[in-house]
Amino acid sequence: MTVIPPSPDHPPAAPRAVGYEEVTDPDFRAHAEATFHQDRPLRGGLLLRGHCPRCGHYMTYYATNVVVRGLLPPRRTRPPAPTAGSDLTVICTCEESHAGRPESYHGCGAYWLHQTGPA
């Protein structure tokens, strides 16, 4: 697994009480790219871990280029990760409560583009 540590120049955002709102901001991308851990797990794909740039709560986001059509994939190969240097749409997936959030949703509604790092 490749781990890209966060920059010490950008500490995590302090948790804030914000209501659920589907919103983006260019600062979300800059903050997340500077502070999120990026892992490439053995099972494949890409795992981002860090504190949401909007609400400041801890979150994880898993991305893969594979779409599963059934319960068991026809082969047991490792799914590819998004290519290094590509933009990935990330949404907040924190487990904290946010007023106005639809039932069965996660996060505060923040979303942003995140450029993936080296493989």
Q: What is the pLDDT along the chain (119 residues), one digit of tens a residue?
A: 334 444 444 455 567 789 999 999 999 999 998 999 988 776 677 889 999 999 999 999 988 766 555 565 555 555 455 666 678 899 999 999 999 999 999 999 999 999 876 65
With beta carbons less than 8 A apart as the criterion, state whether 59 and 52 touch.
Answer: yes
What distance in Å separates the CA atoms of residue 61 and residue 34, rounded to the nearest whole number?
Answer: 16
Q: Which two tokens stand for residue 24?
A: 């983006």
Q: How crowded is residue 38: how many other Cβ atoms within 10 Å of its Cβ?
A: 21
